[in-house]
Structure formats: C-alpha cells, structure tokens
Homo-oligomer: A and B are copies of this chain.
Amino acid sequence: MFQLSLGTRLRRSPYFEATVADGVTAFSTYNRMLMPTAYGDPMAEYWRIIEGVSMWDVAVERQVEISGPDAARLAQILTPRNIARCKVGQGKYVPICNHAGVLINDPILLKLAEDRFWFSIADRDFEDFAAAVAAERGLNVTVFEPDVAPLAVQGPKAEDVIANLFGDWTREIRHFWFRETSLDGIPVVLARSGWSKQGGFEIYLIDPARGGELWAKVKEAGRPHGIGPGAPNQMERIESGLLSFGADTDRATNPFEVRMGAYTTRGLGPEVIGAAALDRIATKGPTRHQLGVVLEGATPLSSNIDWLPVRRENRMIGSVTSSVWSPRMKATIGLALVASAAAAGDEVMVEGPDGVVAARLCELPFL
C-alpha cells in the first residue's frame, strides 16, 4: 500500500470535498485527475452496485467538445464507426484509432446538436489529436475541453433515484441517449450510461462550482434506496466483460482484438482516420482476440499490477490484462488478450505473481 502524492499537476474533481466527507480512502488518477476508487469497504461497495445503487465521482471522464460548421464532418473523420445516423440526444460507443488502425481511445460520443459533439474520453489525451487533425485539414471547428464533471448513479435501483430527482420522464430514456436538463437550477446533461452492466445514469455537471450541491442532492434522493459512495468497480466490470482502455489494451491493439469490431464500419473511405487500415485488418483477420479466463484455486492473486503471461501447451499465447476476485463466481477471473487460435474451453497456464496457476479460457461476459 502506497500513498498518493498530491499537487497541482493532478487536478481534483468538483466532488472532491464531498467524497472526502463521505470517507474516500484511495484514489487512482485518470486523465491527470484524482479518481476516487475506494471508501474502505470493498464488499459493501460491490454489492451496492449489484443489488442496490451507488454514486461515483467520475469527473475524470473528460469531455472533448467539437463544435462549429465542420463539427459533424470532423466527428466522423475521428471515428471509424459510421455515425451518420446518430441523432441529436443520442450517444454512441465509438472507437478512436490512429492512422494505422491502432485503438487510441474508446469514448462515448454525445451528439448535443447537429454542429456540437462531446467525446467522453478514456484515459488518454484526445484533445491535441483532434485539434491537430482539424487544423491540418483546415476545418472550421472549435476543439476544447469544457469543465464538465460526470457523476454516475449505478445499480438496479439507480432508475428510481433518478426518477425521484428528475421526474418519471427519465424512465423512458433509452440506453446511451441523453437530455440537457437541470436540477433545481443546476445545469446538467442526463444520460442513461455508465461503466457497469447493472444499469444506471450519468449526470454530466456543467457548472463545476456546484459539485457539492449536486452530490448532496443525489445522496439525499438515494437515501430511501440505500445509496452509498462507490467507484468504477473492477470486480463488476470484469464480471461484465467491460473493457478498460489502457489496462486491457497496448500500443498495438486494434478494435477487432477487443470485441469492438462491431463498432467499426467497412468502406468509410479515405477521409476517416484508420478506416482503410481497419478494412485491411478485417480482410486478413486480427492476430489476437479477447477472451475471459478463470483461474483455479480459491485464493485471490496477491497483485494485479502487471500483465500476466499465458501459456498453452507450453507456448506463450498472450496475457491476462486485468484480473480480480469475483465474489459471485468465487474465483479469480480476468480478461485475456490471446492469439486468435486460442479458444474458449482451452486449458492454459497463467504466470501469476505467486507462481504458475492452471486456468481455462471462456467467452465473455462472465455474468
């Protein structure tokens, strides 16, 4: 266990004081901001997401806004998924690739207006890349990071909490759709989204001065439902097979390798960055793919800081990229990036921090 050193280089969130008051004990960093990761009771935090409702400070999920006459054109240039039919008020999970087809981000794209988009990004700078492409192509757009701070409300009871706060109309919001609205004068974008498979919403706070106020209102509305603080949960997200960009990807990963092929479109043409490279990879077939892995033994691994080598019949076939103890499966499970020849059902050996462990590959998600 190590301390995290604080300073002005790692920004804090508008919810920081509220999370400290609610007992946050650990942080990670994400997009050079502090992200709460634990409140001292990991099992309670887990079950709250699975069976109840949890509130998360995910202000680290930064927005890169693109607006102006060429915004729609640039948005399409930046993702190899066809977004022509994306409606205002709709979100889409979009891969971002470099010119070689390597995945460099996996944001949710929110179409706020015909000429205004947010890319709600993973942990890698996207603003400089997007702005460079816009400038190099002479497009008439503005690219910047607005100070917008998402607060996630996740779990099977999240809908009741959100309906209580915003009204019953919110029950009709479809997955990844959103609406600009306000809560007692606090301007927000409310979306049905979030980094869990237990259902829920993300409240994108537009005015960072009102973080404490919004946190308190959500907490109050959730009280009858047993809401408590939490954070993006490694146990739940691995059980659910959710990708963590940067944890489960390396500097050569393309979308096909991590089950994002369906979010790419063939034949988008030369204007779209990475599209031609992905067309070629689709024809040849990717050399790696992502599967689940279940380790034998009833003891969690002592560390999950490194990719763990995976061997099949004594040959190296890839790595476990994230692993965790699953409370519901009562086993150590992980995501594995392995050679395309490897398949669900294969028996493998994983080089763990405490020695070699027998394991079996499987389809995702686990649950």
What is A's interface to B at a CB cutoff of 8 Å? 1-10, 12, 24-29, 32, 37-38, 98-99, 104, 123-126, 128-129, 131-133, 135-137, 144-145, 234, 244, 246-248, 251, 273, 303-307, 321-322
Contacts and interface: CB of A to CB of B under 8 A. Distances in A.
A7 B322 contact: yes
A301 B246 CA distance: 36
Contacts of A104: 128
Contacts of A305: 6-8, 12
Given A3-B27, A132-B136, 13 more contacts: A2-B24, A5-B26, A5-B27, A5-B28, A6-B304, A7-B234, A7-B247, A8-B248, A98-B131, A98-B132, A124-B128, A125-B125, A136-B136
Nearest to A134: B99
Copy tally for this chain in the complex stands at: 2
Closest 4 CB pairs of A and B: A9-B247, A99-B135, A4-B4, A3-B26
A123 B11 CA distance: 13
A246 B9 contact: yes
A123 B10 CA distance: 10
20 contacts: A2-B3, A2-B6, A4-B26, A5-B38, A6-B304, A6-B305, A8-B305, A9-B244, A9-B247, A12-B305, A12-B306, A28-B29, A32-B123, A32-B124, A98-B131, A99-B132, A125-B129, A128-B128, A129-B129, A144-B251
Nearest to A24: B2
Contacts of A244: 7-9
Nearest to A105: B128
Nearest to A231: B5
A14 B332 CA distance: 26
A125 to B, nearest CB: 4
A300 to B, nearest CB: 14
Nearest to A322: B8
